[in-house]
Each structure stands twice: as C-alpha cells, then as structure tokens.
Structure 1
Amino acid sequence: MYYDLTISIVTYNTNREELLKVLQCLEKVKLNKKIFISDNSENQDIKKVIEELNSNQIEYIFNNSNKGFGAGHNVIINKLLNKELDSKYHLIMNSDVYFEEDVVEKLLDYMSNHEKIGQIGPRITGKDGTLTYSCKLFPTPLNLIMRRFIPLKKIVEKMDYDYEMRWYNYKDIVEGALLSGCFMLLRTEVFEKVGKFDEKYFMYLEDYDFCRRIGEKYEVIYYPKVEIMHEHAKSSYKSRKMLLIHIKSALTYFNKWGWIFDKKRSETNKKLKKLYNINN
C-alpha cells in the first residue's frame, strides 16, 4: 500500500506515557500515514499499549533482540527497499520527541518545493525550552575527545562554538553538514541511493554516518521555522555503559571516514563557515 508518509520509532523498555504522548503528536499529522513501532525490548509490554489504541495506522514489530538504534529502524527501511511498503517520505524519530500541529506538514511543504533536499530537520529545544545546537559541522576526533575526557571548560566551549555552529544564528534556513538523528525527515528514495543505517554502530553516531552519506547525494537542510521538543538528551553522560558504547561508535566513525585526513570534512566545514564569514 502507498502512503504519503511512513514513520519509524524504535523503542526499548519505553515508558507507556512517553509512547502515548508521541503517538498523540503523530495523530495530528493530517496525511495518509503509517507508523511503525520497532521494539527492541526484552518483552512485548509495549504491544499492549498499541493494541489498546486499536488504530490501523500503527503497526507493532517485536524484534526479539536489541541490535541497536539503527538496526531497529532498518527493519522498516528494509520493507521500503524490498517494496513491501511504499511511501513518498519517511520520518525517523525518537520516542521522546514532541511537537505541535502542522510541524511535519510545513517541513514537507518546503521539501516538496525543493527537489534537491534529501533530509530536512527542524529547530530543536530541550524540555526547558533551551535551544539545542542540532546543526553541526563534521566532527574531528578532538571534538569528541575534549568534550568527554579533558574538562578544560574554556577550550571545550571554544571548540563547541565552532563544531555546533554557534556562530550561525539558528534562525536562517541553511544547508548543514549534520542534523540530529532524533527527527530525520527524508525522501524515501534516499534509501535506494544511499542505503540504510550502518549496523556497526549500536548507538550514537549512526545518525552522523547516515546524514553524511545523504549529504553526498542530496541537500541536508536545517529548517528552523518550525520547532520540536526533545525531552531526553546525552544519556552517555549519565551512564558508564552508554559512554563505552559512545566511544566504540566514535572509533567506528573515524575509522570509516578518517581521523586526521578527511577531505570531505575539510571542504564541507570550510564551505559552511565561509557562508557566515568565519575565518578560523
């Protein structure tokens, strides 16, 4: 069956109220849509929540294992690639993302009028309304190392100012290098040309890797005219286990794209900074 929009949400022991809240947001999207809950949990408790809603717009998939964030989304992406499912656009989102009515429609309206766009992302705030610097340059190893392991506040802030494009006003529509993986709105055709998530990443940086590959074929656009709220963030800052997973993902990313010599990183970052007359 054909849909205007397919949506995938990966869950793992997700709170009932959290899931219901995001589904209520998606209910406001007035499009022919299908929502897939790809559940990486140990049990099927979430299935009961879906069954209670009794909606033919929502499909629950129990994966019976947790192979990671990207792998969970790939379950649905594989359906699109195998033509078991057909849509014009696909939304990859977290279960802790919330937004008001018309957000998705406005993003799609802009996207439909700009055919070169492969991925678009909105302005993102935290629960307290603080802006999330979600439009980033391609990272260097130092960006990630300094943030976590060398607590020299002034140096880290200076590096983040550059890496998180804080010199950009976050009000203009701009072509970015990397956007947040918590809300990735894509043309479905992207999967045929770019592929799916690299499952070598269990969690963290799989969105950077995927976004980077999209940017090689399409425009990746930050569209701050609409806003979403991302309730949770930086879980690796609170858990040693998640920190180790983050480190492993960073190793995977830089082994793949380059530690010191990364021509694409240099060219793209330089181009973006030039737009705003940033010389360093």
Structure 2
Amino acid sequence: MGGGRLHRRRDLPDLEDAARVIPSDLAVVVVNHNAGAYLERCLRSVLGAAAGIELDVVVVDNASTDGSARVAVGAHPQARLVETGENRGFAAGVNVGIRETDAPFVFVLNPDAEIWEGTLDGFVKVAREHPRAGAIGPLVRNSDGTVYATGRIVPTIGTALGHAFLGPFLPDNRFSRRYRLADWDRRTEREVDWVSGSAFLLRREALDEVGLLDEGFFLYAEEVDLFTRLRRAGWSILYTPELEVIHEGGVSTGRSRRMHLLHSRSVARYFAKHHGRGWRLPLVPLVRLGLRARAELVSLRDAVRRRRP
C-alpha cells in the first residue's frame, strides 16, 4: 500500500472479535480528511440506517489534522478507524477500506454526506435483485435539498467540449443538459454510465474481476474510470432512488483554484487512459490544454463572485 504505515484503532476489542464471527452484509467505507463534525453525523446516519443488516463500518483517515476521525469513531465505537499516516488521495483511501473488509458489497460514502431517506437494507436488496450491477448509486441531494444530477452519460468529445466551456457560465445549455440527462427527474431506476463519487455501492465480485480504484487519480474522475472498466467488462451501473443521501460537498477539498486544476488533470488523465488511442492520440495534449484553460476560467469566475458585495 505504498510507503505509509497503517494504524488501526478499535475502542472495544470485543467488537472486533464479534466481527470475526458474524459475517457482514455490507461494508461502509468513509475516507476522511479534515471533515470536522460532518464525519460524526455521517457515521450516525449510516448506523441509524442499517435496518437489521450487519455492517462493517471503516473510517480511513488520510492524515487529518483536526482530530475528526478519532472523535467520530469514539462517539460510534461500532466503526473501525484505519489511519494511513499520509494523504495519498481518495482512490487510495477507498482501496485501503475495501481491502480491510470482506463483505459482498461495499458502500463508499463521503464524510460530508448523510443518509437522508431509505435504509441500507433496502439498498442492498436492490443490489441483490440486479446481479449484474457492478455499481449502484443512490439519489443525491445538495445541501439545500435540491436533487443533484447524479447518474450521467460519458459524453462524446463534442458534448464534453460544449459542457466544459458553456456549463460553468450557462448551465442550461444543450450540451450540459445532454450530459446530465436533464430531462430525467431521478425518480425512477435506470442504468447509466456513471454515478456520483460522493455515494456509491460496489459489488465485490465485480471488483475482483476488474480491480480496485486506480490510485493514479488523486482526486476526481477515479469513479468514472472504475465505472468505465466495469461496463467494458459487462457489468452495469445502476441508479436507484431507493436510498437518498444529502451531500454538503467541498468540506475536505474546498473550491479553490488548486482543486479546479486538479479536476482538469484528472479528467485529462481519464481521456488519455480510455480514449487516447488511434486517431484520438493527437488530441491528448489539446485536451490537457483545453481543460487547463477551463480550470483557469472557472477559477476567475469564482474570484469575481467572491468580490461581489
């Protein structure tokens, strides 16, 4: 797992012994980095939504400095804490959590997200009813309660360009609407190309076939990469409103220029990995330049907004 040393902590040893005897139905992996009080609320919501199934809840702390992980696990000793000792990114943290567990399903949840409606038992039931679903995403709400457009397509180059440069300034443009499947109200179950990385369930059998998350993605696009690999291997990506999650967003990362640039690098890496062959190979440096320009434009837009009274 790299040069970092993992430190495991469990407040009640008898719970660890019990976990070896009782198999878990679902592992829940929460990767934390300075999420503050949000993490405790996240764990509380997870444990409160079990509805009778056996959970194995693992908090993977990526070198937080705010003490949030120890406080949250101390408040909820049913959870386990694994401290990586360094921040190697979201994908690496998720992989640590997956390797720490053996349940047939793994629910990856951001530390600033909470289960809002539904139960984890019902969510797992959907997974069992769809044995070829390699990943399943729930309905995700923004912090104000509006529905976030999780469950999207992987766009064509033309749609991607239109969304990239028009979306931040004219969000209702036809390219962004096509990419976000804007005419769909998210009240119905359907197969999609990818779901939000803030909350998604993975089938371990599918992971055993295609591998874990690509740790070359420090942050952003790692879930799209995984879902692309799953679909190419014949697994489906399913969206279901059976479970609802509310997501604050940006608590660990913020919305700085650095994050916009990191997003652009990750998307460019995804393009090079999955589409940078044949006639598209010469497009790879152009895509990198275009995404870098987009990141700078969005950063400038954010700076202007901050200056407004």
Secondary structure at the aligned position of 2:104 is classed as: strand
Q: Within 5 A, what are the aligned runs for 1:10-159? A: 10-15=31-36, 17-28=37-48, 29=50, 30-43=52-65, 45-50=67-72, 52-53=74-75, 55=77, 57-79=78-100, 85-100=101-116, 102-141=118-157, 146-147=162-163, 149=165, 153-154=169-170, 157-159=173-175
The residue that corresponds to 1:244 in the other structure is 261
Secondary structure at the aligned position of 1:192 is classed as: helix
The residue that corresponds to 1:277 in the other structure is none
Q: State the TM-score, normalizing by the size of structure 1.
A: 0.82
What are the superposed Cα offsets for residues 91-117 of structure 1, whole Å, 9 maximum, x if unpaired?
111011112464322121122122122
Larger Rg: 2
Q: Within 5 A, what are the aligned runs for 1:201-280? A: 201-216=217-232, 217-232=234-249, 238-258=255-275
Higher relative contact order (CA 8 A, sep 6+): 1
Give the 3 Å change call, closer, same or farther, for CA 39–144 of structure 1 in structure 2: farther
The residue that corresponds to 2:214 in the other structure is 198
What is the percentage of aligned positions where both structures have the same residue? 25
Q: Following TM superposition, by how much is the alpha carbon of 1:184 offset from its aligned partner in structure 2, in angstroms?
A: 0.9
Q: State the TM-score, normalizing by the size of structure 2.
A: 0.74
Q: Separation in 1 of the partners of 2:150 and 2:223?
A: 12
Structure 2 alignment gaps of length 5 or more: 1-19, 281-309
Tell me the C-alpha RMSD between the 2 structures: 2.6
Structure 1 alignment gaps of length 5 or more: 80-84, 263-280
How many residue pairs get matched? 255
Secondary structure at the aligned position of 1:122 is classed as: strand
